[in-house]
Structure 1
Protein backbone atom coordinates (compact mmCIF):
# COMPACT_ATOMS: atom_id res chain seq x y z
CA UNK A 1 0.00 0.00 0.00
CA UNK A 2 2.84 2.33 0.88
CA UNK A 3 4.52 1.56 -2.45
CA UNK A 4 1.33 2.49 -4.32
CA UNK A 5 1.13 5.83 -2.45
CA UNK A 6 4.80 6.55 -3.19
CA UNK A 7 4.28 5.77 -6.86
CA UNK A 8 1.23 8.04 -7.08
CA UNK A 9 3.14 10.84 -5.34
CA UNK A 10 6.02 10.42 -7.82
CA UNK A 11 3.61 10.56 -10.73
CA UNK A 12 2.00 13.72 -9.35
CA UNK A 13 5.43 15.26 -8.74
CA UNK A 14 6.56 14.47 -12.27
CA UNK A 15 3.33 15.87 -13.70
CA UNK A 16 3.86 19.00 -11.65
CA UNK A 17 7.45 19.32 -12.94
CA UNK A 18 6.26 18.80 -16.53
CA UNK A 19 3.58 21.44 -16.04
CA UNK A 20 6.15 23.85 -14.68
CA UNK A 21 8.46 23.15 -17.66
CA UNK A 22 5.59 23.74 -20.08
CA UNK A 23 4.75 27.06 -18.38
CA UNK A 24 8.41 28.13 -18.48
CA UNK A 25 8.63 27.09 -22.12
CA UNK A 26 5.49 29.08 -22.96
CA UNK A 27 6.88 32.09 -21.04
CA UNK A 28 10.20 31.81 -22.90
CA UNK A 29 8.36 31.58 -26.20
CA UNK A 30 6.22 34.57 -25.29
CA UNK A 31 9.33 36.53 -24.27
CA UNK A 32 11.10 35.61 -27.48
CA UNK A 33 8.07 36.61 -29.53
CA UNK A 34 7.86 39.92 -27.70
CA UNK A 35 11.63 40.49 -28.05
CA UNK A 36 11.78 39.69 -31.77
CA UNK A 37 8.59 41.68 -32.29
CA UNK A 38 10.21 44.69 -30.65
CA UNK A 39 13.40 44.21 -32.68
CA UNK A 40 11.43 43.86 -35.92
CA UNK A 41 9.42 46.95 -35.08
CA UNK A 42 12.63 48.87 -34.37
CA UNK A 43 14.20 47.68 -37.63
CA UNK A 44 11.11 48.63 -39.60
CA UNK A 45 10.98 52.04 -37.90
CA UNK A 46 14.69 52.62 -38.48
CA UNK A 47 14.31 51.53 -42.11
CA UNK A 48 11.39 53.88 -42.58
CA UNK A 49 13.34 56.70 -40.91
CA UNK A 50 16.37 56.05 -43.14
CA UNK A 51 14.21 55.94 -46.26
CA UNK A 52 12.49 59.17 -45.21
CA UNK A 53 15.84 60.77 -44.40
CA UNK A 54 17.31 59.58 -47.70
CA UNK A 55 14.31 60.91 -49.59
CA UNK A 56 14.52 64.23 -47.78
CA UNK A 57 18.29 64.51 -48.36
CA UNK A 58 17.79 63.64 -52.03
CA UNK A 59 15.13 66.34 -52.34
CA UNK A 60 17.36 68.85 -50.56
CA UNK A 61 20.30 67.87 -52.80
CA UNK A 62 18.13 68.25 -55.90
CA UNK A 63 16.96 71.67 -54.69
CA UNK A 64 20.57 72.71 -53.96
CA UNK A 65 21.78 71.49 -57.34
CA UNK A 66 18.90 73.20 -59.14
CA UNK A 67 19.79 76.44 -57.37
CA UNK A 68 23.44 75.91 -58.30
CA UNK A 69 22.64 75.38 -62.00
CA UNK A 70 20.45 78.47 -62.02
CA UNK A 71 23.23 80.55 -60.44
CA UNK A 72 25.78 79.22 -62.92
CA UNK A 73 23.44 79.97 -65.82
CA UNK A 74 23.10 83.55 -64.58
CA UNK A 75 26.85 83.90 -64.03
CA UNK A 76 28.30 82.45 -67.21
CA UNK A 77 25.45 81.77 -69.63
CA UNK A 78 24.90 78.48 -71.42
CA UNK A 79 27.93 76.20 -71.73
CA UNK A 80 28.33 74.77 -75.22
CA UNK A 81 28.84 70.95 -74.95
CA UNK A 82 31.44 71.22 -77.73
CA UNK A 83 33.80 72.56 -75.06
CA UNK A 84 33.29 69.72 -72.57
CA UNK A 85 36.81 68.55 -73.38
CA UNK A 86 38.22 71.74 -71.88
CA UNK A 87 38.09 73.64 -68.59
CA UNK A 88 38.04 77.34 -69.45
CA UNK A 89 38.54 79.74 -66.54
CA UNK A 90 38.35 83.53 -66.81
CA UNK A 91 40.94 85.25 -64.60
CA UNK A 92 40.22 88.91 -63.84
CA UNK A 93 42.55 91.24 -61.98
CA UNK A 94 40.91 94.41 -60.64
CA UNK A 95 42.50 97.83 -60.39
CA UNK A 96 40.39 100.45 -58.63
CA UNK A 97 42.81 103.32 -59.11
CA UNK A 98 42.41 106.33 -61.38
CA UNK A 99 43.34 105.41 -64.97
CA UNK A 100 44.31 107.49 -68.00
CA UNK A 101 40.63 107.86 -68.93
CA UNK A 102 39.84 109.47 -65.57
CA UNK A 103 37.65 106.61 -64.32
CA UNK A 104 37.69 105.81 -60.61
CA UNK A 105 35.42 102.74 -60.41
CA UNK A 106 36.76 99.19 -60.25
CA UNK A 107 37.82 98.00 -63.66
CA UNK A 108 39.29 94.85 -65.16
CA UNK A 109 42.99 95.67 -65.34
CA UNK A 110 44.02 92.15 -66.39
CA UNK A 111 41.79 89.79 -68.38
CA UNK A 112 43.09 86.30 -69.10
CA UNK A 113 41.34 83.10 -70.19
CA UNK A 114 43.14 80.00 -68.87
CA UNK A 115 42.13 76.92 -70.86
CA UNK A 116 42.97 73.39 -69.66
CA UNK A 117 42.78 70.58 -72.20
CA UNK A 118 41.32 67.79 -70.05
CA UNK A 119 42.75 64.87 -72.05
CA UNK A 120 46.37 66.09 -72.08
CA UNK A 121 46.60 68.51 -69.14
CA UNK A 122 48.00 71.19 -71.44
CA UNK A 123 47.33 74.80 -70.48
CA UNK A 124 46.80 77.79 -72.78
CA UNK A 125 46.47 81.48 -71.84
CA UNK A 126 44.49 83.96 -73.94
CA UNK A 127 45.37 87.52 -72.92
CA UNK A 128 42.71 90.12 -73.72
CA UNK A 129 43.81 93.78 -73.74
CA UNK A 130 41.84 95.78 -71.20
CA UNK A 131 41.22 98.48 -73.83
CA UNK A 132 39.62 96.10 -76.35
CA UNK A 133 36.69 97.89 -78.00
CA UNK A 134 33.46 95.88 -77.74
CA UNK A 135 29.77 96.16 -78.53
CA UNK A 136 28.12 95.46 -75.20
CA UNK A 137 25.90 92.36 -75.39
CA UNK A 138 22.21 93.21 -75.56
CA UNK A 139 22.72 96.90 -76.35
CA UNK A 140 24.14 99.26 -78.94
CA UNK A 141 26.62 100.71 -76.46
CA UNK A 142 30.34 100.49 -77.25
CA UNK A 143 33.17 100.79 -74.76
CA UNK A 144 36.46 99.40 -73.58
CA UNK A 145 36.02 95.92 -72.17
CA UNK A 146 37.67 96.84 -68.86
CA UNK A 147 34.62 98.92 -67.84
CA UNK A 148 32.15 96.03 -68.11
CA UNK A 149 33.00 94.83 -64.60
CA UNK A 150 31.67 98.09 -63.12
CA UNK A 151 28.47 97.69 -65.16
CA UNK A 152 27.60 94.07 -64.42
CA UNK A 153 30.42 92.41 -62.54
CA UNK A 154 32.08 89.17 -63.57
CA UNK A 155 28.88 87.63 -65.06
CA UNK A 156 28.56 90.40 -67.68
CA UNK A 157 32.28 90.26 -68.44
CA UNK A 158 32.12 86.46 -68.78
CA UNK A 159 29.20 86.52 -71.22
CA UNK A 160 30.91 89.26 -73.26
CA UNK A 161 34.08 87.18 -73.59
CA UNK A 162 32.01 84.11 -74.51
CA UNK A 163 30.65 86.10 -77.45
CA UNK A 164 33.95 87.80 -78.24
CA UNK A 165 35.95 84.57 -78.56
CA UNK A 166 33.15 82.19 -79.54
CA UNK A 167 33.99 79.78 -76.70
CA UNK A 168 32.39 78.80 -73.39
CA UNK A 169 33.77 79.99 -70.06
CA UNK A 170 33.16 77.38 -67.35
CA UNK A 171 34.30 79.39 -64.29
CA UNK A 172 35.61 82.82 -63.39
CA UNK A 173 37.99 84.06 -60.70
CA UNK A 174 38.22 87.74 -59.72
CA UNK A 175 40.84 89.22 -57.39
CA UNK A 176 42.20 92.67 -56.64
CA UNK A 177 45.85 93.63 -56.42
CA UNK A 178 46.05 93.19 -52.64
CA UNK A 179 44.79 89.60 -52.84
CA UNK A 180 47.08 88.93 -55.82
CA UNK A 181 50.07 90.00 -53.70
CA UNK A 182 48.95 87.73 -50.85
CA UNK A 183 48.71 84.73 -53.19
CA UNK A 184 52.17 85.34 -54.65
CA UNK A 185 53.62 85.62 -51.14
CA UNK A 186 51.76 82.44 -50.12
CA UNK A 187 53.45 80.40 -52.86
CA UNK A 188 56.85 81.84 -51.98
CA UNK A 189 57.27 84.39 -54.77
CA UNK A 190 58.14 83.99 -58.45
CA UNK A 191 61.49 83.82 -60.27
CA UNK A 192 61.53 85.85 -63.49
CA UNK A 193 63.85 87.86 -65.72
CA UNK A 194 63.10 91.59 -65.56
CA UNK A 195 63.88 92.72 -69.09
CA UNK A 196 64.74 96.37 -68.26
CA UNK A 197 65.05 98.80 -65.38
CA UNK A 198 61.51 99.73 -64.36
CA UNK A 199 61.04 103.07 -62.64
CA UNK A 200 57.68 104.80 -62.47
CA UNK A 201 56.00 106.99 -59.85
CA UNK A 202 52.42 108.23 -59.80
CA UNK A 203 51.50 109.89 -56.53
CA UNK A 204 47.90 110.50 -57.60
CA UNK A 205 47.40 106.84 -58.45
CA UNK A 206 49.53 105.71 -55.45
CA UNK A 207 51.86 103.78 -57.75
CA UNK A 208 55.61 103.43 -57.12
CA UNK A 209 57.52 100.95 -59.31
CA UNK A 210 61.25 100.36 -58.94
CA UNK A 211 62.73 97.11 -60.30
CA UNK A 212 66.22 96.44 -61.65
CA UNK A 213 66.96 94.60 -64.88
CA UNK A 214 68.03 90.98 -64.52
CA UNK A 215 66.90 87.75 -62.90
CA UNK A 216 64.81 88.52 -59.86
CA UNK A 217 62.86 86.69 -57.19
CA UNK A 218 59.70 88.79 -56.92
CA UNK A 219 57.49 88.85 -53.85
CA UNK A 220 53.82 89.78 -54.09
CA UNK A 221 54.34 93.55 -54.08
CA UNK A 222 57.15 93.38 -56.65
CA UNK A 223 55.15 91.04 -58.89
CA UNK A 224 52.35 93.60 -58.83
CA UNK A 225 54.82 96.31 -59.90
CA UNK A 226 56.17 94.16 -62.72
CA UNK A 227 52.69 93.59 -64.14
CA UNK A 228 51.50 97.19 -63.79
CA UNK A 229 54.54 98.87 -65.35
CA UNK A 230 53.67 100.58 -68.62
CA UNK A 231 56.27 103.33 -69.21
CA UNK A 232 57.98 101.80 -72.20
CA UNK A 233 57.74 102.06 -75.98
CA UNK A 234 55.20 99.19 -76.21
CA UNK A 235 52.80 100.70 -73.64
CA UNK A 236 49.88 98.27 -73.01
CA UNK A 237 51.24 95.71 -75.48
CA UNK A 238 54.37 95.59 -73.35
CA UNK A 239 52.20 94.93 -70.27
CA UNK A 240 50.47 92.06 -72.07
CA UNK A 241 53.80 90.52 -73.03
CA UNK A 242 54.93 90.77 -69.41
CA UNK A 243 51.67 89.09 -68.38
CA UNK A 244 52.57 86.23 -70.72
CA UNK A 245 56.06 85.85 -69.28
CA UNK A 246 54.74 86.09 -65.74
CA UNK A 247 52.04 83.44 -66.34
CA UNK A 248 54.66 81.02 -67.67
CA UNK A 249 56.98 81.67 -64.72
CA UNK A 250 54.13 81.33 -62.23
CA UNK A 251 53.01 78.07 -63.85
CA UNK A 252 56.47 76.55 -63.52
CA UNK A 253 56.55 77.65 -59.90
CA UNK A 254 53.20 76.02 -59.17
CA UNK A 255 54.44 72.69 -60.57
CA UNK A 256 57.27 72.51 -58.03
CA UNK A 257 56.90 70.01 -55.19
CA UNK A 258 57.47 72.65 -52.50
CA UNK A 259 54.23 74.35 -53.55
CA UNK A 260 52.22 71.37 -52.25
CA UNK A 261 52.96 72.32 -48.64
CA UNK A 262 51.55 75.79 -49.29
CA UNK A 263 48.24 74.68 -50.79
CA UNK A 264 46.26 75.04 -47.51
CA UNK A 265 47.30 78.69 -47.17
CA UNK A 266 46.51 79.32 -50.85
CA UNK A 267 43.12 77.63 -50.53
CA UNK A 268 42.26 79.72 -47.46
CA UNK A 269 43.04 82.98 -49.27
CA UNK A 270 40.93 81.90 -52.24
CA UNK A 271 38.07 80.89 -49.96
CA UNK A 272 38.07 84.11 -47.94
CA UNK A 273 39.25 86.80 -50.35
CA UNK A 274 38.58 85.76 -53.95
CA UNK A 275 35.35 86.19 -55.94
CA UNK A 276 34.64 83.05 -57.95
CA UNK A 277 31.76 81.25 -59.64
CA UNK A 278 33.07 77.85 -58.49
CA UNK A 279 31.03 76.13 -55.77
CA UNK A 280 31.23 72.82 -53.88
CA UNK A 281 29.73 71.01 -56.87
CA UNK A 282 32.75 72.10 -58.96
CA UNK A 283 35.43 71.03 -56.47
CA UNK A 284 36.06 67.49 -57.73
CA UNK A 285 35.98 68.56 -61.39
CA UNK A 286 38.44 71.40 -60.88
CA UNK A 287 40.71 69.33 -58.63
CA UNK A 288 40.83 66.61 -61.29
CA UNK A 289 41.75 69.16 -63.97
CA UNK A 290 44.54 70.61 -61.81
CA UNK A 291 45.80 67.13 -60.89
CA UNK A 292 46.46 66.33 -64.56
CA UNK A 293 48.33 69.53 -65.40
CA UNK A 294 51.07 68.92 -67.95
CA UNK A 295 54.71 69.86 -67.33
CA UNK A 296 54.78 71.34 -70.85
CA UNK A 297 55.06 75.17 -70.65
CA UNK A 298 51.73 76.84 -71.39
CA UNK A 299 50.97 78.36 -74.77
CA UNK A 300 50.18 82.07 -74.66
CA UNK A 301 48.22 84.19 -77.10
CA UNK A 302 47.35 87.89 -77.15
CA UNK A 303 43.97 88.69 -78.67
CA UNK A 304 44.84 89.55 -82.31
CA UNK A 305 44.29 93.17 -83.25
CA UNK A 306 45.91 96.59 -83.32
CA UNK A 307 45.46 100.08 -81.85
CA UNK A 308 42.75 102.14 -83.52
CA UNK A 309 44.01 104.53 -86.20
CA UNK A 310 42.30 107.54 -84.60
CA UNK A 311 42.84 106.57 -80.93
CA UNK A 312 45.93 104.67 -79.82
CA UNK A 313 44.34 103.88 -76.45
CA UNK A 314 41.73 101.61 -78.09
CA UNK A 315 42.52 98.00 -79.12
CA UNK A 316 40.53 96.85 -82.17
CA UNK A 317 40.23 93.08 -82.45
CA UNK A 318 41.06 91.36 -85.74
CA UNK A 319 37.97 89.15 -86.13
CA UNK A 320 39.32 86.87 -88.89
CA UNK A 321 42.67 86.21 -87.23
CA UNK A 322 41.01 85.67 -83.85
CA UNK A 323 38.59 83.11 -85.32
CA UNK A 324 41.52 81.28 -86.92
CA UNK A 325 43.56 81.21 -83.70
CA UNK A 326 40.56 80.02 -81.66
CA UNK A 327 40.03 77.22 -84.18
CA UNK A 328 43.68 76.20 -83.73
CA UNK A 329 43.36 76.21 -79.94
CA UNK A 330 40.01 74.35 -79.96
CA UNK A 331 40.15 72.05 -83.01
CA UNK A 332 36.89 70.50 -84.17
CA UNK A 333 38.18 66.93 -83.87
CA UNK A 334 38.68 67.38 -80.12
CA UNK A 335 35.16 68.67 -79.55
CA UNK A 336 32.18 66.57 -78.57
CA UNK A 337 29.45 66.89 -81.17
Structure 2
Protein backbone atom coordinates (compact mmCIF):
# COMPACT_ATOMS: atom_id res chain seq x y z
CA UNK A 1 0.00 0.00 0.00
CA UNK A 2 2.88 2.37 0.68
CA UNK A 3 3.68 2.80 -2.98
CA UNK A 4 0.19 4.23 -3.51
CA UNK A 5 0.84 7.31 -1.40
CA UNK A 6 4.10 8.61 -2.83
CA UNK A 7 2.49 11.75 -4.25
CA UNK A 8 2.67 13.90 -1.17
CA UNK A 9 6.40 13.48 -0.60
CA UNK A 10 6.85 15.41 -3.83
CA UNK A 11 5.46 18.44 -2.05
CA UNK A 12 8.67 18.64 -0.03
CA UNK A 13 10.57 19.35 -3.20
CA UNK A 14 7.96 21.99 -3.88
CA UNK A 15 9.30 23.73 -0.78
CA UNK A 16 12.57 24.21 -2.63
CA UNK A 17 11.07 24.75 -6.07
CA UNK A 18 7.93 26.85 -5.51
CA UNK A 19 7.87 27.33 -1.78
CA UNK A 20 9.91 29.57 0.49
CA UNK A 21 13.06 30.85 -1.10
CA UNK A 22 14.34 32.71 1.96
CA UNK A 23 15.94 29.70 3.60
CA UNK A 24 17.42 28.52 0.32
CA UNK A 25 19.29 31.81 -0.06
CA UNK A 26 20.29 31.95 3.61
CA UNK A 27 21.74 28.44 3.54
CA UNK A 28 23.08 28.69 0.02
CA UNK A 29 26.14 26.48 0.39
CA UNK A 30 24.22 23.60 1.98
CA UNK A 31 21.51 23.80 -0.63
CA UNK A 32 24.05 23.98 -3.46
CA UNK A 33 25.66 20.70 -2.48
CA UNK A 34 22.29 18.98 -2.28
CA UNK A 35 21.00 20.32 -5.59
CA UNK A 36 24.16 19.32 -7.40
CA UNK A 37 23.85 15.79 -6.02
CA UNK A 38 20.24 15.30 -7.13
CA UNK A 39 20.55 16.70 -10.66
CA UNK A 40 20.04 14.19 -13.46
CA UNK A 41 19.33 15.64 -16.94
CA UNK A 42 16.90 14.09 -19.40
CA UNK A 43 18.25 12.47 -22.53
CA UNK A 44 17.35 15.47 -24.70
CA UNK A 45 17.96 19.19 -25.01
CA UNK A 46 14.31 20.31 -24.94
CA UNK A 47 10.80 19.01 -25.46
CA UNK A 48 9.60 18.46 -29.02
CA UNK A 49 6.29 19.95 -27.87
CA UNK A 50 7.92 23.40 -27.61
CA UNK A 51 9.05 25.56 -30.50
CA UNK A 52 11.36 27.67 -28.34
CA UNK A 53 13.49 26.94 -25.30
CA UNK A 54 12.15 27.82 -21.86
CA UNK A 55 13.40 31.22 -20.69
CA UNK A 56 12.92 31.49 -16.93
CA UNK A 57 14.30 35.04 -16.92
CA UNK A 58 11.40 36.04 -19.18
CA UNK A 59 8.99 34.14 -16.90
CA UNK A 60 7.89 31.62 -19.50
CA UNK A 61 5.01 29.50 -18.13
CA UNK A 62 6.42 26.04 -17.34
CA UNK A 63 5.34 22.51 -16.53
CA UNK A 64 6.80 20.08 -14.00
CA UNK A 65 6.16 16.35 -13.82
CA UNK A 66 6.32 15.21 -10.21
CA UNK A 67 6.80 11.46 -10.14
CA UNK A 68 6.83 9.09 -7.20
CA UNK A 69 8.78 5.89 -7.84
CA UNK A 70 8.82 2.70 -5.80
CA UNK A 71 12.39 1.68 -6.58
CA UNK A 72 13.98 -1.40 -5.07
CA UNK A 73 17.48 -2.83 -5.13
CA UNK A 74 16.59 -5.68 -7.47
CA UNK A 75 14.18 -3.92 -9.84
CA UNK A 76 13.46 -0.59 -11.51
CA UNK A 77 10.04 -0.14 -9.94
CA UNK A 78 7.03 1.79 -11.20
CA UNK A 79 5.84 5.37 -11.03
CA UNK A 80 2.74 4.86 -8.94
CA UNK A 81 2.25 8.61 -8.57
CA UNK A 82 2.12 11.06 -11.47
CA UNK A 83 1.33 14.72 -10.94
CA UNK A 84 1.68 17.42 -13.59
CA UNK A 85 1.99 21.00 -12.34
CA UNK A 86 1.83 24.01 -14.65
CA UNK A 87 3.04 27.39 -13.37
CA UNK A 88 2.16 30.71 -14.98
CA UNK A 89 3.90 33.61 -13.19
CA UNK A 90 2.15 36.16 -15.41
CA UNK A 91 -1.32 35.16 -14.25
CA UNK A 92 0.02 34.08 -10.83
CA UNK A 93 -1.70 30.72 -11.11
CA UNK A 94 -0.91 27.03 -10.81
CA UNK A 95 -2.74 23.94 -12.05
CA UNK A 96 -2.26 20.47 -10.54
CA UNK A 97 -3.31 17.42 -12.58
CA UNK A 98 -3.24 13.97 -10.98
CA UNK A 99 -2.92 11.25 -13.63
CA UNK A 100 -4.42 7.94 -12.44
CA UNK A 101 -1.64 5.35 -12.51
CA UNK A 102 -3.85 2.80 -14.34
CA UNK A 103 -4.62 5.18 -17.23
CA UNK A 104 -4.49 3.26 -20.52
CA UNK A 105 -2.38 5.09 -23.10
CA UNK A 106 0.42 4.71 -25.62
CA UNK A 107 3.80 4.04 -24.02
CA UNK A 108 6.08 6.16 -26.20
CA UNK A 109 9.16 4.23 -27.26
CA UNK A 110 7.71 0.83 -26.37
CA UNK A 111 5.40 0.38 -29.37
CA UNK A 112 2.38 -0.59 -27.30
CA UNK A 113 -0.36 0.77 -25.08
CA UNK A 114 -0.43 -0.04 -21.38
CA UNK A 115 -0.93 1.52 -17.98
CA UNK A 116 0.79 4.89 -17.92
CA UNK A 117 2.78 4.04 -14.79
CA UNK A 118 4.45 1.12 -16.62
CA UNK A 119 6.42 3.61 -18.73
CA UNK A 120 8.84 4.07 -15.84
CA UNK A 121 9.43 0.33 -15.53
CA UNK A 122 10.02 0.03 -19.28
CA UNK A 123 12.26 3.05 -19.81
CA UNK A 124 12.80 5.06 -16.66
CA UNK A 125 12.18 8.77 -16.32
CA UNK A 126 12.80 9.54 -20.01
CA UNK A 127 10.07 7.19 -21.20
CA UNK A 128 7.74 8.45 -18.47
CA UNK A 129 8.23 12.07 -19.52
CA UNK A 130 7.71 11.24 -23.21
CA UNK A 131 4.58 9.23 -22.45
CA UNK A 132 3.02 11.95 -20.29
CA UNK A 133 3.83 14.55 -22.95
CA UNK A 134 2.09 12.42 -25.57
CA UNK A 135 -0.94 11.78 -23.34
CA UNK A 136 -1.51 15.46 -22.49
CA UNK A 137 -0.02 16.94 -25.69
CA UNK A 138 2.00 19.47 -23.72
CA UNK A 139 5.73 19.87 -23.10
CA UNK A 140 7.12 18.58 -19.83
CA UNK A 141 9.88 21.06 -19.13
CA UNK A 142 11.12 19.68 -15.84
CA UNK A 143 10.69 16.58 -13.73
CA UNK A 144 11.14 15.81 -10.05
CA UNK A 145 11.38 12.12 -9.17
CA UNK A 146 11.13 11.00 -5.57
CA UNK A 147 11.73 7.57 -4.10
CA UNK A 148 9.46 6.65 -1.20
CA UNK A 149 12.22 6.22 1.41
CA UNK A 150 12.39 8.85 4.11
CA UNK A 151 9.13 10.68 3.48
CA UNK A 152 7.93 10.53 7.10
CA UNK A 153 11.15 12.17 8.32
CA UNK A 154 10.71 14.99 5.81
CA UNK A 155 7.17 15.81 6.91
CA UNK A 156 8.20 15.67 10.55
CA UNK A 157 11.18 17.93 9.83
CA UNK A 158 8.89 20.73 8.62
CA UNK A 159 6.79 20.37 11.74
CA UNK A 160 3.94 18.44 10.17
CA UNK A 161 1.19 19.73 7.88
CA UNK A 162 -2.30 21.18 8.29
CA UNK A 163 -5.24 20.09 6.12
CA UNK A 164 -9.03 20.29 6.16
CA UNK A 165 -10.49 16.78 6.20
CA UNK A 166 -13.92 16.35 4.58
CA UNK A 167 -14.49 12.73 5.67
CA UNK A 168 -14.39 11.34 9.22
CA UNK A 169 -12.55 8.00 9.25
CA UNK A 170 -10.18 5.77 11.19
CA UNK A 171 -7.31 3.68 9.80
CA UNK A 172 -4.25 1.88 11.16
CA UNK A 173 -4.86 3.03 14.71
CA UNK A 174 -5.36 6.68 13.78
CA UNK A 175 -8.62 8.66 13.82
CA UNK A 176 -9.07 11.57 11.42
CA UNK A 177 -11.88 13.88 12.47
CA UNK A 178 -13.77 15.96 9.96
CA UNK A 179 -12.51 19.55 9.78
CA UNK A 180 -9.09 21.17 10.25
CA UNK A 181 -6.46 18.67 11.46
CA UNK A 182 -2.69 18.64 11.98
CA UNK A 183 -0.72 15.63 10.71
CA UNK A 184 2.75 14.38 11.53
CA UNK A 185 4.69 12.15 9.14
CA UNK A 186 3.09 8.86 10.13
CA UNK A 187 -0.41 10.37 10.19
CA UNK A 188 0.07 11.99 6.79
CA UNK A 189 1.09 8.59 5.40
CA UNK A 190 -2.07 6.92 6.70
CA UNK A 191 -4.28 9.88 5.72
CA UNK A 192 -3.00 9.76 2.14
CA UNK A 193 -3.31 5.98 1.96
CA UNK A 194 -7.04 5.70 2.68
CA UNK A 195 -9.21 4.71 -0.29
CA UNK A 196 -11.66 1.94 0.61
CA UNK A 197 -13.68 3.96 3.14
CA UNK A 198 -14.09 6.85 0.71
CA UNK A 199 -17.14 6.63 -1.62
CA UNK A 200 -15.05 8.50 -4.20
CA UNK A 201 -12.50 5.69 -4.16
CA UNK A 202 -9.17 6.53 -5.75
CA UNK A 203 -10.30 10.07 -6.57
CA UNK A 204 -10.72 10.78 -2.86
CA UNK A 205 -7.24 9.43 -2.22
CA UNK A 206 -5.81 11.62 -4.99
CA UNK A 207 -7.53 14.64 -3.44
CA UNK A 208 -5.92 13.96 -0.06
CA UNK A 209 -2.54 13.54 -1.73
CA UNK A 210 -2.90 16.95 -3.39
CA UNK A 211 -3.91 18.40 -0.02
CA UNK A 212 -0.65 17.22 1.49
CA UNK A 213 1.40 18.70 -1.36
CA UNK A 214 -0.26 22.09 -1.03
CA UNK A 215 0.10 22.01 2.75
CA UNK A 216 3.82 21.27 2.59
CA UNK A 217 4.39 24.01 0.01
CA UNK A 218 2.52 26.51 2.17
CA UNK A 219 4.47 25.43 5.23
CA UNK A 220 7.74 25.82 3.36
CA UNK A 221 6.81 29.37 2.38
CA UNK A 222 7.02 30.42 6.04
CA UNK A 223 10.40 31.58 7.28
CA UNK A 224 10.27 29.65 10.56
CA UNK A 225 9.17 26.30 9.10
CA UNK A 226 12.55 24.75 8.32
CA UNK A 227 14.21 24.47 11.69
CA UNK A 228 15.62 21.06 10.77
CA UNK A 229 16.80 22.14 7.33
CA UNK A 230 19.85 19.85 7.41
CA UNK A 231 17.65 16.80 7.96
CA UNK A 232 15.43 17.81 5.06
CA UNK A 233 18.37 18.31 2.71
CA UNK A 234 19.77 14.93 3.66
CA UNK A 235 16.47 13.20 2.92
CA UNK A 236 16.15 15.02 -0.39
CA UNK A 237 19.69 14.10 -1.42
CA UNK A 238 18.99 10.44 -0.75
CA UNK A 239 15.61 10.26 -2.44
CA UNK A 240 15.28 12.91 -5.16
CA UNK A 241 16.33 13.21 -8.81
CA UNK A 242 15.57 16.17 -11.07
CA UNK A 243 16.70 17.91 -14.25
CA UNK A 244 16.30 21.29 -12.58
CA UNK A 245 19.63 23.00 -12.15
CA UNK A 246 20.49 25.03 -9.09
CA UNK A 247 20.03 28.26 -11.06
CA UNK A 248 16.67 27.03 -12.36
CA UNK A 249 15.43 26.35 -8.85
CA UNK A 250 16.49 29.70 -7.48
CA UNK A 251 14.99 31.49 -10.49
CA UNK A 252 11.70 29.68 -10.01
CA UNK A 253 11.75 30.51 -6.31
CA UNK A 254 12.29 34.15 -7.09
CA UNK A 255 9.92 34.69 -10.02
CA UNK A 256 7.34 31.90 -9.89
CA UNK A 257 6.47 31.64 -6.19
CA UNK A 258 3.33 33.81 -6.52
CA UNK A 259 1.82 31.19 -8.87
CA UNK A 260 0.94 29.05 -5.88
CA UNK A 261 -1.51 31.72 -4.66
CA UNK A 262 -4.20 30.59 -7.13
CA UNK A 263 -4.29 26.82 -7.48
CA UNK A 264 -6.69 24.69 -9.50
CA UNK A 265 -6.77 20.96 -8.85
CA UNK A 266 -7.88 18.94 -11.88
CA UNK A 267 -9.30 15.44 -11.72
CA UNK A 268 -9.21 13.42 -14.94
CA UNK A 269 -12.60 11.84 -15.55
CA UNK A 270 -12.75 8.37 -17.08
CA UNK A 271 -14.10 4.86 -16.71
CA UNK A 272 -12.42 1.80 -15.27
CA UNK A 273 -12.87 -1.85 -16.06
CA UNK A 274 -11.26 -5.21 -16.68
CA UNK A 275 -10.08 -5.73 -20.27
CA UNK A 276 -9.95 -8.95 -22.29
CA UNK A 277 -6.46 -9.63 -20.92
CA UNK A 278 -7.92 -9.73 -17.41
CA UNK A 279 -6.19 -6.51 -16.32
CA UNK A 280 -7.97 -3.46 -14.88
CA UNK A 281 -7.42 -0.23 -16.83
CA UNK A 282 -8.64 3.36 -16.50
CA UNK A 283 -9.86 4.72 -19.84
CA UNK A 284 -9.96 8.44 -20.61
CA UNK A 285 -12.04 9.46 -23.63
CA UNK A 286 -10.39 11.32 -26.49
CA UNK A 287 -12.76 14.25 -25.93
CA UNK A 288 -11.79 14.51 -22.26
CA UNK A 289 -8.11 14.23 -23.08
CA UNK A 290 -8.29 16.96 -25.71
CA UNK A 291 -10.24 19.29 -23.44
CA UNK A 292 -7.66 18.86 -20.70
CA UNK A 293 -4.82 19.35 -23.17
CA UNK A 294 -6.36 22.56 -24.45
CA UNK A 295 -6.77 23.88 -20.92
CA UNK A 296 -3.16 23.17 -20.01
CA UNK A 297 -1.81 24.53 -23.29
CA UNK A 298 -3.72 27.74 -22.73
CA UNK A 299 -2.27 28.02 -19.22
CA UNK A 300 1.20 27.46 -20.67
CA UNK A 301 0.50 30.10 -23.34
CA UNK A 302 1.32 27.70 -26.15
CA UNK A 303 0.20 28.23 -29.72
TM-score when scaled to structure 1? 0.64
- Of 103, 122, 127, the match for 2:93: 122
Q: Partner of 1:191 in structure 2?
A: 162
Bigger radius of gyration, 1 or 2? 1
- Of 264, 268, 271, the match for 1:303: 268
Pairing 1:273-284 to 2, within 5 Å after superposition: 273-280=239-246, 282-284=248-250
In 2: Cα distance, 1:321 partner to 1:246 partner: 26
Distance 1:209 1:80, change over 3 A: farther
Distance 1:164 1:241, change over 3 A: same
In 1: Cα distance, 2:126 partner to 2:45 partner: 4
For structure 2, the residue ranges without an aligned partner over 5 or more in a row are 1-38, 55-59
For structure 1, the residue ranges without an aligned partner over 5 or more in a row are 1-67, 98-103, 200-207
Q: Whose helix fraction is larger, Structure 1's or Structure 2's?
A: 1
Q: Assess if the C-alpha contact under 8 Å between 1:172 and 1:278 holds in 2.
A: yes
CA positional deviation for 1:113: 0.7
TM-score when scaled to structure 2? 0.71
Count of matched residue pairs: 253
Q: Partner of 1:90 in structure 2?
A: 65
CA positional deviation for 1:300: 0.5
Q: Per the alignment, in what secondary structure is the counterpart of residue 207 of structure 2?
A: helix
Q: Assess if the C-alpha contact under 8 Å between 1:110 and 1:130 holds in 2.
A: yes
Q: Does 1:78 align with 2:48?
A: yes
Pairing 1:1-337 to 2, within 5 Å after superposition: 71-74=41-44, 77-78=47-48, 80-81=50-51, 84=54, 85-95=60-70, 106-194=77-165, 195-199=167-171, 208=172, 210-214=174-178, 215-232=180-197, 233-259=199-225, 265-280=231-246, 282-296=248-262, 298-308=263-273, 310=275, 313-331=280-298, 335=301
